[in-house]
């Protein structure tokens, strides 16, 4: 596998353009921005950042296109989604290469995980649309669900295509028109996805894309009076700003924000087979996942055993360049995140946590690039910053507990509530614990990923849900037509 340069993957004119009303158009301002390859710390490409004028044009196009798209027969929308799926499959290598360049995923991981999971969101939106009842009767009243209108979508850099399809798929499926602002740190795969939608025959104005930063495009998108809802994925800090910007226009706001997910190993769990997958889950995508189970809660008397198992698992991770077929992990996605993770690792040491493996600095053999040592801390107490704050890197905290009730208390003792894991040989016991954890999703005994399972947070992890039927319904309004069937 060889990484290709951007000019072999994208029409380079797209880098300085927006996709508005079915056309690639020049941006209103000359504001270049380097997209840094995290493996080399050198620019992989230079994009143009749009501004409020571009955003306004995109919203106007979406508003104009909405009525016709909302009225389009379901069969026609299904046909577009089918073509999108076909093109994602055909262009998987291109998409994987772009994600390696923009955010550091190895080619193997991008091809095996990033691209297929992104396609799954389109497939689920298509399946749910095919069977969804938009009108149901309740006595003589018709309860009808209608597309909400123009959806403003703001996506992050850590899963750059996966998060785009998780929002765009259901929004388009139900009949919304869309304005997408991908992260300016990893925008390349989103540009390729815009090409896919164009080639799939999406009508002009139904899908629009404007690259830009939060101040120039994100805030105007959230506050725009002609945007009927905004869906945001990112940090809790940024999510608060989006909600504040949206508040004066009283639009719907969906937010998938930060997390500090616990992984409770109950006393009867098979530790030999539970610890390793827990480490891998916490460090999947280099720990750059809001739902990563980065707090492993273990019985105090088993802590030493877990330390050895966790260290072995972390040390089995192969750090390498994107085209290294043996590499499981590449660099962190960008410099600010690399510096954040390094700071938090040092803070854990300063707080008195014991570093079992890993630690500050790059792995041996890497003198540049945002490569980070997979790190496991033990003797972590719930009040430490590394146990409370989202690190967003390959850093696992081992936290001992004294009873199952104590474990549940620790699990719930953060401002977050996005996801959690429970491991146990006793399914009934695992279910009982799962019901007591305040998070939007709980996974028992490392199940297969379920794209139909709704995903979203309690507390400061957000509001609303993505994925599955619940994710589809985020883009719908509810109308009651009373007296619809008087004969009934």
User: For the domain that residue 164 is a member of, what is the CATH number?
Assistant: 3.40.605.10
Four-point Cα dihedral 183, 185, 191, 193, nearest 10: -60
pLDDT of 487 > 80? The answer is no
For 56-83, what is the mean pLDDT? 98
List residues bridging with 259 in a β-sheet: none
pLDDT of 220 > 80? The answer is yes
* Whether residue 228 is found in the same domain as residue 292: no
Four-point Cα dihedral 108, 113, 118, 120, nearest 10: 130
Give tens-digit pLDDT for 297-323: 999 999 999 999 999 999 999 999 988
Share of the chain above pLDDT 90, in %: 98
pLDDT of 138 > 90? The answer is yes
Catalytic residue (choose from 176, 195, 290, 390): 290
The pLDDT value given to residue 135: 97
The pLDDT value given to residue 263: 99
Count CB-CB contacts under 10 A for residue 89.
Answer: 12
Angle, alpha carbons 235-236-241 (nearest 5°): 100
* Whether residue 271 is found in the same domain as residue 416: yes
CATH number assigned to the domain comprising residue 356: 3.40.309.10
The pLDDT value given to residue 486: 79
Q: Cα dist. 423→115, 272, 402, 403, 438 in Å?
A: 29, 12, 16, 15, 17
**Residues in Cβ contact with 175 at an 8 Å cutoff, skipping those fewer than 6 apart:** 66, 69, 70, 71, 72, 77, 146, 147
Catalytic residue (choose from 102, 219, 256, 307): 256
* Whether residue 428 is found in the same domain as residue 474: no
* Whether residue 303 is found in the same domain as residue 351: yes
Mean pLDDT of the chain: 97
Report helix, strand or coil for 383: coil
Give tens-digit pLDDT for 150-169: 999 999 999 999 999 999 99
Confidence of residue 243 (pLDDT cuts 50, 70, 90): very high
In a domain, 54, yes or no: yes
Confidence of residue 281 (pLDDT cuts 50, 70, 90): very high
Residue 153 in tokens = 């979508």
Report the number of distinct structural domains present in the chain: 2
Q: Cα dist. 461→210, 418, 465 in Å?
A: 26, 5, 11
Confidence of residue 258 (pLDDT cuts 50, 70, 90): very high
Q: Report d(CA 303, CA 311) in Å as an integer.
A: 12
Share of the chain above pLDDT 70, in %: 100
Of the candidates 148, 62, 143, which has an alpha carbon nearest to the alpha carbon of residue 476?
Answer: 148
The pLDDT value given to residue 1: 66
Torsion sign over Cα 182, 183, 187, 190: negative
In a domain, 320, yes or no: yes
* Whether residue 104 is found in the same domain as residue 167: yes
In a domain, 377, yes or no: yes
* Whether residue 170 is found in the same domain as residue 278: no
The pLDDT value given to residue 152: 98
Catalytic residue check, 176: no
In a domain, 487, yes or no: no
* Whether residue 131 is found in the same domain as residue 243: yes
* Whether residue 181 is found in the same domain as residue 238: yes
* Whether residue 349 is found in the same domain as residue 428: yes
In a domain, 400, yes or no: yes
* Whether residue 252 is found in the same domain as residue 268: no
Q: Report d(CA 270, CA 265) in Å as an integer.
A: 9
In a domain, 488, yes or no: no
Give tens-digit pLDDT for 459-482: 999 999 999 999 999 999 999 999
For 174-190, what is the mean pLDDT? 98
In a domain, 42, yes or no: yes
The pLDDT value given to residue 323: 87
List of E strands, 257-359:
262-265, 295-299, 354-357
In a domain, 330, yes or no: yes
Residue 128 in tokens = 């749910």
Range of the domain at 227: 6-257+463-479
Catalytic residue check, 256: yes
* Whether residue 177 is found in the same domain as residue 326: no
* Whether residue 306 is found in the same domain as residue 241: no
Confidence of residue 430 (pLDDT cuts 50, 70, 90): very high
* pTM higher than 0.85: yes
pLDDT of 488 > 90? The answer is no
Contact (Cβ atoms closer than 8 angstroms) between residue 134 and residue 97? no
Contact (Cβ atoms closer than 8 angstroms) between residue 52 and residue 220? yes
Count CB-CB contacts under 10 A for residue 432.
Answer: 15
Contact (Cβ atoms closer than 8 angstroms) between residue 396 and residue 286? no
């Amino acid at each position: 596998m060889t990484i290709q340069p951007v000019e072999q993957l994208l029409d380079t004119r797209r880098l300085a353009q927006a996709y508005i009303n079915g056309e690639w158009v020049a941006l209103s301002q000359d504001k270049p921005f380097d997209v840094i390859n995290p493996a080399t710390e050198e620019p992989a490409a230079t994009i143009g950042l749009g501004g409020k004028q571009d955003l306004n044009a995109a919203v106007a196009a979406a508003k104009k296109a909405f009525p016709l798209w909302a009225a389009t027969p379901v069969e026609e929308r299904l046909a577009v989604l089918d073509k999108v799926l076909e093109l994602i499959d055909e262009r998987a290598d291109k998409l994987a290469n772009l994600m390696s360049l923009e955010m550091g995923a190895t080619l193997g991981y991008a091809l095996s995980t990033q691209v297929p999971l992104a396609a799954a969101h389109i497939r689920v939106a298509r399946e749910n649309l095919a069977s969804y009842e938009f009108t149901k009767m309740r006595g003589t009243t018709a309860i009808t669900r209608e597309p909400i209108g123009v959806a403003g979508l703001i996506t992050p850099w850590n899963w750059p295509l996966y998060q785009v399809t998780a929002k765009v798929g259901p929004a388009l499926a139900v009949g919304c028109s869309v304005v997408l602002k991908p992260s300016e740190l990893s925008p390349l795969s989103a540009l390729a996805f815009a090409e896919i939608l164009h080639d799939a025959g999406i009508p002009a104005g139904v899908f629009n894309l404007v690259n830009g930063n939060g101040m120039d495009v994100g805030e105007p998108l959230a506050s725009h009076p002609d945007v009927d809802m905004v869906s945001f994925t990112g940090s809790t800090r940024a999510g608060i700003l989006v909600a504040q910007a949206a508040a004066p226009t009283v639009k719907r706001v969906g937010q998938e924000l930060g997390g500090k997910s616990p992984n409770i190993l109950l006393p009867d769990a098979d530790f030999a087979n539970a610890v390793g997958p827990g480490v891998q889950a916490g460090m999947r995508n280099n720990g750059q996942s809001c739902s990563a189970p980065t707090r492993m809660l273990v019985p105090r008397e088993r802590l030493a055993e877990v330390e050895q198992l966790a260290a072995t698992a972390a040390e089995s991770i192969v750090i390498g360049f994107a085209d290294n077929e043996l590499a499981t992990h590449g660099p962190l996605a960008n410099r600010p995140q690399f510096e954040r993770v390094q700071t938090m690792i040092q803070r854990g040491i300063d707080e008195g946590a014991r570093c079992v493996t890993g630690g500050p600095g790059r792995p041996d053999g890497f003198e540049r690039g945002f490569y980070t040592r997979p790190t496991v801390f033990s003797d972590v107490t719930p009040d430490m910053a590394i146990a409370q704050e989202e690190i967003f890197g390959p850093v696992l905290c081992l936290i001992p507990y004294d009873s199952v009730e104590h474990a549940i208390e620790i699990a719930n003792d953060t401002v977050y509530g996005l996801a959690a894991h429970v491991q146990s040989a006793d399914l009934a016991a695992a279910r009982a614990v799962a019901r007591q954890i305040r998070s939007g999703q709980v996974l028992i005994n490392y199940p297969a990923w379920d794209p139909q399972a709704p995903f979203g947070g309690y507390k400061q992890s957000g509001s609303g849900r993505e994925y599955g039927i619940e994710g589809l319904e985020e883009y719908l309004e509810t109308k009651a037509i009373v007296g619809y069937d008087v004969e009934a």
